[in-house]
Amino acid sequence: MTRGAEKLSGRRWDEPLIYELGSPGERSVFPPEPGSRSERLLGIRCPGVLRFCGGRTPPTCLNCLNPQVLRHYTRLSQMCLGVDVAVDMTGTCTMKYSPKVNELFARRPR
């Protein structure tokens, strides 16, 4: 029994790219200023970031708050077919997936 691919998917949203969300100036992560005390204590090297980028300008930070990022990736994960979304067991697992019954046994105290 085969089904069309349109029936074997999770929910669908018109979800924009993460870089299209938020507004300028909104941030959840504030990297330390170059040469700051935090940079020295944490061992973060901004020149290393520039070397990683090939000497070009450093990567830009997301202009999103943490709850917005969480909602975005939750919506993306709900668009995937999985054992929690559909009852059809053909093609819903991968080699690294552990079925729910194995999760229960793994959590048992000994």
| Domain residue ranges of the chain, discontinuous segments joined by + | 5-107
Q: Residue 41's pLDDT is what?
A: 63
Confidence label for 27 from pLDDT (cuts 50, 70 and 90): confident
φ, ψ dihedrals at 68, nearest 5°: -70, -40
Amino acid present at 83: V
The whole-model pTM stands at 0.47
Looking at residue 1, what is its pLDDT? 45
The 10s digit of each residue's pLDDT in 2-14 is 555 555 555 667 8
Q: pLDDT by residue (tens digit) across 41-74?
A: 666 555 555 555 565 665 666 788 888 888 888 8
The answer to whether 100 and 30 have CB atoms below 8 angstroms apart is: no
